[in-house]
Amino acid sequence: MNPNQTVEDESHPYITSASRRIQLLSLHLTPLPPSQPSPQVNMLICAKAANKLEVDKVSLSTYMRGKNRDIQEKIIEFFESRPDLQTPVGVSMNEHRELCMRQLVALVREAKIKPFRYIVDDPAKYFAITEAIGSIDVSLGIKLGVQFSLWGGSVLNLGTEKHRDKYFDGIDNLDYPGCFAMTELHHGSNVQGLQTRATFDPVTDEFIIDTPNDGAIKWWIGNAAVHGKFATVFAKLILPTHDSKKVSDMGVHAFIVPIRDLNTLQTLPGIEIHDCGHKVGLNGVDNGALRFRSVRIPRDNLLNRFGDVSRDGKYTSSLPTINKRFAAMLGELVGGRVGLAYASVGFLKISVTIAVRYSLLRQQFGPPEQPEVSILDYQSQQHKLMPMLASSYAFHFATHYLVQKYSEMKKMHDEQLVADVHALSAGLKAYVTSYTAKSLSTCREACGGHGYAAVNRFGSLRNDHDIFQTFEGDNTVLMQQVAADLLKQYKDKFQGGSLSVTWNYLRESMNTYLSQPNPIIARWESADHLRDPKFQLDAFRYRTSRLLQSVAARLQKHSKTLGSFGAWNRCLNHLLLLAEAHTESVILAKFIEAVHNCPDASSRAALKLVCDLYALDHIWNDIGTYRNVDYVAPNKAKAIHKLTEYLCFQVRNIAGELVDGFDLPASVTRAPIAMQSEAYAQYTHHIGF
């Protein structure tokens, strides 16, 4: 569509708005004569495609797919060959739960794919497996994660050799399905506030697990309602003492608690299990509530990597304080956040692929007496979907970097690297899942009424993904952790301390980025300058540094009258903006790096185009911040806006190739509205035509 064309085309002055509208509507009712080209449901070439980049889709998809594509293809092929294991639309909750368990058993025992073996030794392969599994059925992906990453991961990461020897094989082959019982009815994010108690009895050499009140009931526990036989229960470790207090609270620890008989699946004495029932999404996962009434377990069931209790009731730990032990424990459980950030990008790729392909196929309106045009030729549709497509690529590279750092952390056990991965995973999990949740709705809307059909997947994707913003850490809480870490780095910088890898740019930012903006550079508006990665990254980091400096000053001011907690709450929205800005800086840095490292010239040119759109769209969306401090002059702001629109149009020209570059199997993007006319015909047949 010509962006300068108005509703009343100047070349047809005698056609009124009303008659023009009647003409357009009549095209929907009266077929065009055979002598004119009939509007087929196929990919349309944009009017200005002469400037279109040539993209080698094979090279692009090879660069994107990574080294674990083979095992992903094996998983997809296995489930495609088994119609009995495919999840039907409209499946009931109880049927879905049993189907998910059958799917998981088939994956492990028939396809011979053992995810648990990669948890520690090859996390990248484990996350690749979960991505493929999640594309089959998101509930299955979560159930797999509960079994291997949460229940199994807690045994591997918080236990010692005796626990691995006893439980590894049973977890690996699904003889020991289990749960991860951390969240309580009254405590989710505040894990240190958990109330479940594990009191040591030196007479019997056992721990007694108790739920002291209704608020301490373990809630939303995956695998608990139907299939779980064990649970890793997080509880306060209470030791008897001989002083006036009589007991000593050693902080939250993890314990292995059997909850069902291994053979009969009957609930064990002292255990109460309740079903959490139907949820907004993920109904293939059997979430339940657990209550413990004086349940006795052997002392050896304490997962004792960071703290142990001897036969005579003495506590020992290599870490001197409750807070350090707690931080070490949570640091070992960060894999769940890494997995959710990685999986969320998969949701975004699928939804963007469906929406882009539909927008290329779907035709509505057009110039008088001419065929209708693809709706992706409309600027409004481009502005909905092209920045989202760019973000999909940006998040892909950022989360792959996160997985790489997490893998290094598991091998090296470096304290600084652990802290860096903890903050990085918090930021990316929160940012990516929030963005994807909004994008799923936008993609549905971009597909009009057809996007509302269940068979076209947006509803199930949106509902299943929604909880990603809450579990493994509420997004608002996680972003506060990122902000707190940035403030710590800011403080350390002025005290001469070393900065962790992700925050190295702060070393320069306090001196360079916070100085008065250069009035000459602020007015540069050439496309070469605006597309220069240094300008883009400097702008992102400048914003982060300004926010960091200003919020640090505000906190110092308000803490004098409100105290530290009150000051933090007063500045909370400012802190969340800081965390968001920093996370965007990290994402852009990884995207720029990925563009530079791409070996194929055509793929590199396409990625550069997409990266420029990602960067300039973000700068334009926050142009007020840059204008307020004269970092960008008015003429430059206008140039950024124009160039962003141009890049959006250019990305539209290769949108089909870009979604193909994700290399998603056809069964993953199986929405009929995103396929060719034969599949579309099957879709209409499916609903009764």
CA–CA dist 429, 336 (Å, integer): 10
| Rama region for 684: left / alpha / beta (φ>0; ψ in -120 to 50; rest) | alpha
Q: Confirm if 476 and 504 have CB atoms less than 8 A apart.
A: no
Residue 116: closest CA among 180, 169, 179: 169
Q: Distance between the two ends of the chain, CA-based, in angstroms?
A: 32
Instruction: Output the DSSP codes for 633-653.
Output: -HHHHHHHHHHHHHHHHHHHH
3-state secondary structure of 256: strand
Instruction: Output the DSSP codes for 331-370.
Output: HHTTHHHHHHHHHHHHHHHHHHHHHHHHHHH-B---STTS
Strand ranges (E), 261-326: 271-275, 288-292, 295-298, 308-309, 315-316
Reduce the secondary structure of 370-386 to three states and give it as a string: CCCCEHHHCHHHHHHHH
CA distances from 512 to 502, 505, 508 (A): 18, 10, 6
For 498, counting Cβ atoms within 10 Å of its Cβ (0-12 exposed, 13-18 middle, 19+ buried), the class is exposed
Q: What dihedral do alpha carbons 393, 395, 401, 406 form, nearest 10°?
A: -150
Partnered with residue 179 across adjacent β-strands are 231
222 annotated ligand-binding residue: yes
What b-and-e string marks burial along 567-588, b requiring 16 or more CB atoms within 10 Å of the CB?
bbebbeeebbbbbbbbbbbbbb
CA–CA dist 46, 18 (Å, integer): 27
Tokens of 555: 């906190």
Tokens of 91: 């499946």
Q: Which helix (H) or strand (E) holds 500?
A: none
* Alpha helices, H only, 31-91: 57-65, 69-80
CA–CA dist 191, 183 (Å, integer): 8
Tokens of 113: 């794919």
Q: Confirm if 456 and 673 have CB atoms less than 8 A apart.
A: yes
Tokens of 414: 């470096």
Q: Confirm if 548 and 575 have CB atoms less than 8 A apart.
A: no
CA–CA dist 557, 365 (Å, integer): 58
- In angstroms, how far is CA 669 from the centroid of its own chain? 18
95 is catalytic: no
Residue 622 φ then ψ, to 5°: -120, 35
Q: Which residues contact 389 (CB under 8 A, 6 or more apart)?
A: 352, 356, 610, 651, 655, 658, 659
> What is the CB neighbour count within 10 angstroms for residue 383?
16
* Alpha helices, H only, 571-600: 572-597
Reduce the secondary structure of 536-557 to three states and give it as a string: HHHHHHHHHHHHHHHHHHHHHH
Active-site residue, selected from the candidate residues 184, 472, 584, 657: 472
Residue 423: closest CA among 486, 373, 487: 486
> What is the CB neighbour count within 10 angstroms for residue 452?
12
Partnered with residue 140 across adjacent β-strands are none
183 annotated ligand-binding residue: yes
Tokens of 643: 């160039």
Residue ranges of the annotated binding site for FAD are 183, 222
Q: Would you name the residues annotated as active-site residues?
A: 472
Residue ranges of the annotated binding site are 183, 222
